[in-house]
Amino acid sequence: MWQTQPFRFAQDLVDQLSKRVAADCKTSGRMLTAAQYVDAAMTRHLPSSIEEQLDLAEDFLLKRDSDVGTGQQGSHRVSPEVYAIASDLPNAMRTAGHARTAVHVYSGALDRFLEELKAEGPLGRSLPPRQ
């Protein structure tokens, strides 16, 4: 069962995500949501181990020259697999001595996903099923 999970992302990524969802809705003719993109981003790029999460956060911060700001929080319905990792991530980071790092981990995963989408180009219309 999909559950609602709060995420905090760098503000510019929230803006990029909104624009991408809107563009994909237009080019594909589908009703898409930001939650679908967040779930896909986390499924593809959110590691399950603290060490890999910290590496992802560090890569994101280095790419940004550590300029991220406080980010913007939003809640999204995500798959059970993503929820299992994301729901514990902020507390796991705090326990490991890296409080307030979740925004960088989540942003790193979303940034990688948006870069992949950018490289693939616009989402096209689906072909009708063959009969």
Contacts of 60 (CB under 8 A, 6+ apart): 68, 104, 105, 107, 108, 111
pLDDT in tens, 33-80: 999 999 999 999 999 999 999 999 999 999 988 777 778 899 999 999
Cα gap 71→103, rounded to integer Å: 7
Name the band, by pLDDT with cuts 50, 70 and 90, for residue 123.
Answer: confident
Q: CB 58: neighbour CB atoms within 10 A?
A: 14
